Amino acid sequence: MRKAKRRPVVGCAFDPDQRNEIGNIEAYISELEFYRPRGFSKLKKEGERYVALLDRERFDDVYSSEWMQECDHLLTEWARRVERHDYIGFGPFEHGGAVGFYNHVEGAFEDADLKVDDTGEVPRGFTGLVCRVSDHGNVTVYRCSRGRFRELFSVV
């Protein structure tokens, strides 16, 4: 039996300010089609309907912004299942207008059971969340279970 290949959680971030409304909706549709989270086809069809309406006439922006928020939520939930941690999300970045996948570094740092400079400082057999900050400021977050490390994410 072949093992299913896991899709990477690295989408192409896009800047909504650099696109028109149709371009933003098409970018969301592209992300939905690439990752194919459960329930994506309903949102994809709605997005295609919005694009068709925009080609002919203008419709209320509230509908498209609610649709984009639903897409953000669906892709966030998908990424959290795939990556098996709650510190990942999809949507607008905190600093800037770009949209895509991002890690909640501050949230992980606040929730960390241990904050260390070197993983050698972690007690033997430790279980919990470990946040390692290197001397260069790089952050790596690990989930430890009885002394075994599993890297959740790393930010350079």
φ/ψ of residue 12, rounded to 5: -90, 115
**CA angle (55 as vertex; 54, 57 as ends), nearest 5:** 60
Tokens encoding 94: 């905190």
| pLDDT tens per residue across span 81-140 | 888 889 998 988 876 678 888 888 899 999 999 999 998 999 999 999 999 998 888 999
Query: Would the pLDDT of 56 be above 80?
Result: no
**Alpha carbon of residue 36 to chain centroid:** 14
- Mean pLDDT of all residues in 140-146: 93
pLDDT mean across residues, the chain: 84
What does the DSSP 8-state code read for residue 85?
S
Model pLDDT, residue 135: 86
Model pLDDT, residue 16: 78
Q: What pTM does this model have?
A: 0.79
